[in-house]
Structure 1
Amino acid sequence: MSGIIFAGLAPHPPIAVPEVGGNDLEKIEDTVTSMKQLAVDVKEADPDLIVTISPHGPVFSDAISILNQDPIEGDLSDFDTSEVKLSYKLGEEFIEEIARACYNQDIQLARIDSRAAKKFDIDLKLDHGVMVPLYYLNQAGIDCPLVPINMGMLSDDDLYKFGKTIQLLAQQSDYKVAVIASGDLSHRLIPNAPAGYNPRGQEFDESIVQYLDDLAVEQIMNLDESLIEKAGECGLRPITIMLGVLDALELSGGVLSYEGPFGVGYAVASYRVEGKSNQPGFLEKLEARKKNKLEQIRENESKLVKLARQAVEEYAYKQEAIEPPSELDPKLADRAGVFVSIKKDQNLRGCIGTTRPAEANLAKEIIRNAISAGFKDPRFDAIDPKELKQLTYTVDVLEEPEVVDNIKELDPDQYGVIVKKGNATGLLLPNLDGIDTAQKQVEVAKRKAGIQTTDDVELMRFEVTRYK
């Protein structure tokens, strides 16, 4: 049988490699035993190709990446163990197929060859997230061509879809493919843990372990965002890709072990593919849910957001700015600074704005900034027409900024902030994901302006009315 024949989750503590861990291996005995069993399971599946998914290689905000060098090599010299070296033939044909499929599926994929590695200052070596599980596979005598994938900071839906794409390509090929997702769970299980302590870390790990053992895909895909954030994990995205790989397949296996003696959760899971399932996969639910959500957003969008969306859509097709409505709604007749934000699958796709009005009315301000956000934000490529159905918009209308004397007068939930030093100015809108303190808000605004985070700056705050 060709196609996906096996998938597994492996943690990646370097201490699990005997040459690194030494006597400390006794503290993670269950993990070591399970990693050996995982390798035996892969060996029995007898793959022709190994696909690895790591959270510690080159990670991009808008793309999944694949290391594209043959042979592909790695070592553990960063952990004072340079004698542990591995080298694999690259699965180039399969990588070509993945690249073509991702282009057709509108999934961003970056193939990191020597030229790209030099441009982005990337080390073209297998990272420890891959090296640790591969060490055990190597010890079991497994030596197959490798496809070394690195997760991207894409939406869960796109990561799952990418995994399903790997499955379909494997079915179409003559390869028997085993997939190893590398990832640790919460890094916040105990006081003095690597990422600090949070009591919800254990809650996250217990949930993930139970859901993985039950293959409760929907529960994993619907995990509470605040729980994920507080867990401080690095394994959820590789797990999501792995679940996509296993979509609508009949499986045997489950979680082999879990422990976290050093404050980081190590789970090992092993799944043997028995055939295709008679039940529909979760991808169909994801696509239906996504479509319904976007339809509801369109039905309920405000007049300001509708105008921003129409401006982007018209410009995408005709490269022309639309005219404001002939009879302006009172809200659109005012003058104010405006920021238009565009997202795709909950990830920022563009954001441009003005702190003070530059046009005759709010309608013209929105049209101008919507076009700039969609096609002139230097951080992103211009929006392609085929993306339009996947985009969501918000419009922030700014109140007049006011000077503040002390950072204590800021509140990132209520106020946006403007920092200024000389000719350098940085702005951050209020109520942004991940900005939960005034200090962090100011630091991010400084970085946006190219100001050193230790420099003194002039501070201003402003309120916005956010339209969706």
Structure 2
Amino acid sequence: MSFEGFYLLPHPPIVIPEIGKGEEKKIQATSSGFDQIAKEIAEKSPDTIITVTPHGTMFQDAVAICGEHELNGSFENFSVPDVSMKVHINTALASSIYEFAQQENIPSIMATDGFLNKYNSYEFLDHGVMVPLYFINKYYKAYKLVHITYAPIGDLDLYRFGMCIRKAVEESDEKIVMIASGDLSHRLKEHGPYGYNPYGEKFDKEFLDCLKNGHVEGVFSIDRDTLINAGECGRRSVVMMLGALDKKKFNGELLSYEGTFGVGYGVMKFNVISENTSMLDKLETARKTAYERKKEGTDPYARLARESLTHYLVSGEELEEFPNYVPDEMKSIKRGVFVSLKKHGELRGCIGTIFPVTDSVAEEIMRNAVEAGMNDPRFYEVEEDELIDIDFSVDVLTEPEPADKEELDPREYGVIVRSGRKTGLLLPDLEEVDTVEKQLDIALQKAGIGSAEEYKIEKFKVLRHKES
């Protein structure tokens, strides 16, 4: 059969009256939106509800599909253990989705307790799923569940996984609805969970506008700075659902949007208008075009870092001559340099030098780019086919100078801590490092310096160069 409905639902535990204890009234529009969707799902009486969540057992490199026969969960982590639920899993449909994903070489696993035991984990019903089900269960319970936890892999792989969901549904003989569970930006207000960032409002508006207009390419083209700084957890769930909507023209009907607690809660239903052509080729073309732009980027620092690692991966040899776009200042100045690689917004490698070990910034970049890709002990070696998904940045350090704790500012200054031969460094302006105490704690841990040991502090600034 086919899908009966598609929905974007948030998952704020505070909307549950037993948890909110009156605070849920401050997001009444969200609560009303939940009820409206729940009643609509009850009218459709689906055999199975497919949920995509960011809060199940997550792997960094593979989508996790629950392979257990049933899942249990409660709101114990939110001080309400008596509010609990148990759902039966549609293992046949889950297995079919997995088989299609394997055929398409999309990284995915069937997550069972036996498999997860080796990671000291287990399958459970997380609040990303329980919050929507709490409202649905008020009106309808005669369903099975397919529980999927997304992974921070490439958007195209998530989209293609959604296409595999659609294929499995079309081969089934059941009525299905799909829920993309996710909150929008967590950075809408200073008193919110992650403070305020203007990119939060920007993301929520752009993202919801794209969905309302059925503009799939727009969702994929939201700029990287906005994505990194928005602090959201729902976009990847939606990308997977958009894959399930491939070959359909649709629009999004926004029932409510609230940011009362500093987090964006959007309740949206999707209306299929007509058949359409597949978006996959267009999305792949846009991805390749963006990659070509990055390779020819205007910032010579980041461009040299990319070209240095690319040359090594292609030829097996280090770049020996400066490309003609490298300016004289990069050839004549000596500085410490850090080269960072991020894949899908997640760190993929970072190697640097506090003090220069070569004769110029350009040589330092060429050396450290290869080191970051091949010899960062935290990661396996970068492969050539990953380069299209990797963003390069270069931090050029100023000369470190002695400092007291009171002089530090984690947004403006990086920090070096020293005790004997033990040294730890942390760059400035890092995501979620927003206090001096946190900055020093991380630097001390990196150095292996105990909290009771005496240590010296130095501060420095960086000139950060990123790919456009």
Give the structure-1-normalised TM-score. 0.76
Match of 1:324 in 2: 320
- How does 1:226-245 map onto structure 2 within 5 Å? 233-245=232-244
User: Which 5+ residue runs of structure 1 have no aligned equivalent?
Assistant: none
Match of 2:91 in 1: 91
Count the aligned residue pairs.
462
Match of 1:297 in 2: 294
**Match of residue 287, structure 1, among 263, 277, 284:** 284
What is the CA RMSD across the aligned residues, in angstroms?
Answer: 4.5
* Cα offsets for 1:299-354 (capped at 9, x unmatched): 24677666654553455467x44362499987568865443322334443211223
Q: Which amino acid aligns with 1:299?
A: E
Give the Å deviation of 1:131. 1.0
Give the Å deviation of 1:205. 5.7
User: Which 5+ residue runs of structure 2 have no aligned equivalent?
Assistant: none
SS at match of 1:184: coil
> How has the CA–CA distance of structure 1 residues 53 and 453 changed in structure 2, closer, same or farther, with 3 Å as cutoff?
farther
Whole-Å separation in 1 of the counterparts to 2:4 and 2:90: 19
Greater shift in the superposed pair: 246-255 or 152-161: 152-161
- How does 1:4-403 map onto structure 2 within 5 Å? 4-17=3-16, 30-59=29-58, 64-78=63-77, 79-82=79-82, 84-91=84-91, 94-95=94-95, 97-98=97-98, 101=101, 104=104, 108-109=107-108, 111-115=110-114, 117-154=116-153, 159-160=158-159, 162-168=161-167, 170-171=169-170, 176-185=175-184, 212-217=211-216, 233-251=232-250, 254-259=253-258, 264-273=263-272, 275-277=274-276, 281=279, 284-300=281-297, 308-309=305-306, 312-313=309-310, 315-316=312-313, 320-322=316-318, 324-325=320-321, 331=330, 337-358=336-357, 366=365, 368-399=367-398, 401-403=399-401
Greater shift in the superposed pair: 256-265 or 376-385: 256-265
Match of 1:429 in 2: 427
Whole-Å separation in 1 of the counterparts to 2:383 and 2:99: 19
The answer to whether the Cα contact below 8 Å between 1:69 and 1:90 also exists between their aligned partners in 2 is no
Give the Å deviation of 1:54. 1.9
SS at match of 1:135: helix
* Cα offsets for 1:426-467 (capped at 9, x unmatched): 223345555566655444433444556797642223455656
SS at match of 1:268: strand
The answer to whether the Cα contact below 8 Å between 2:93 and 2:146 also exists between their aligned partners in 1 is no
The answer to whether the Cα contact below 8 Å between 2:93 and 2:172 also exists between their aligned partners in 1 is no
The answer to whether the Cα contact below 8 Å between 2:340 and 2:350 also exists between their aligned partners in 1 is yes
The answer to whether the Cα contact below 8 Å between 1:154 and 1:347 also exists between their aligned partners in 2 is no
Give the Å deviation of 1:41. 2.8
- How does 1:443-458 map onto structure 2 within 5 Å? 443-451=441-449, 457-458=455-456
> How has the CA–CA distance of structure 1 residues 462 and 61 changed in structure 2, closer, same or farther, with 3 Å as cutoff?
farther
% identical aligned pairs: 38
Q: Which amino acid aligns with 1:292?
A: T
* Cα offsets for 1:30-50 (capped at 9, x unmatched): 444432332333344454442
* Cα offsets for 1:343-381 (capped at 9, x unmatched): 334443211223334568777755553333223323222
The answer to whether the Cα contact below 8 Å between 1:5 and 1:272 also exists between their aligned partners in 2 is no
Give the Å deviation of 1:53. 1.8
> How has the CA–CA distance of structure 1 residues 200 and 463 changed in structure 2, closer, same or farther, with 3 Å as cutoff?
closer
The answer to whether the Cα contact below 8 Å between 1:73 and 1:88 also exists between their aligned partners in 2 is no
Give the Å deviation of 1:155. 5.9
> How has the CA–CA distance of structure 1 residues 230 and 456 changed in structure 2, closer, same or farther, with 3 Å as cutoff?
farther
Whole-Å separation in 2 of the counterparts to 1:455 and 1:273: 63
* Cα offsets for 1:52-98 (capped at 9, x unmatched): 12233334555544444332222233342435321212435535644
Q: Which amino acid aligns with 1:295?
A: E
Whole-Å separation in 2 of the counterparts to 1:37 and 1:56: 24
SS at match of 1:374: helix
Greater shift in the superposed pair: 38-47 or 374-383: 38-47
Whole-Å separation in 1 of the counterparts to 2:367 and 2:27: 58
Q: Which amino acid aligns with 1:460?
A: E
SS at match of 2:7: strand
Whole-Å separation in 1 of the counterparts to 2:299 and 2:189: 46
> How has the CA–CA distance of structure 1 residues 129 and 450 changed in structure 2, closer, same or farther, with 3 Å as cutoff?
farther
Whole-Å separation in 2 of the counterparts to 1:145 and 1:413: 48
* Cα offsets for 1:240-260 (capped at 9, x unmatched): 433443344134762233456
SS at match of 1:356: coil
Q: Which amino acid aligns with 1:293?
A: A
Whole-Å separation in 1 of the counterparts to 2:221 and 2:423: 39
The answer to whether the Cα contact below 8 Å between 1:76 and 1:85 also exists between their aligned partners in 2 is no
> How has the CA–CA distance of structure 1 residues 187 and 306 changed in structure 2, closer, same or farther, with 3 Å as cutoff?
closer
SS at match of 1:417: strand
Give the structure-2-normalised TM-score. 0.76
Greater shift in the superposed pair: 344-353 or 208-217: 208-217
Q: Which amino acid aligns with 2:284?
A: E
Whole-Å separation in 1 of the counterparts to 2:363 and 2:201: 51
> How has the CA–CA distance of structure 1 residues 437 and 226 changed in structure 2, closer, same or farther, with 3 Å as cutoff?
farther
Whole-Å separation in 2 of the counterparts to 1:312 and 1:159: 27
Whole-Å separation in 2 of the counterparts to 1:200 and 1:309: 27
* Cα offsets for 1:1-37 (capped at 9, x unmatched): 43x4421122323354466567776665544443233
SS at match of 1:445: helix
Aligned pair 1:418/2:416, yes or no?
yes
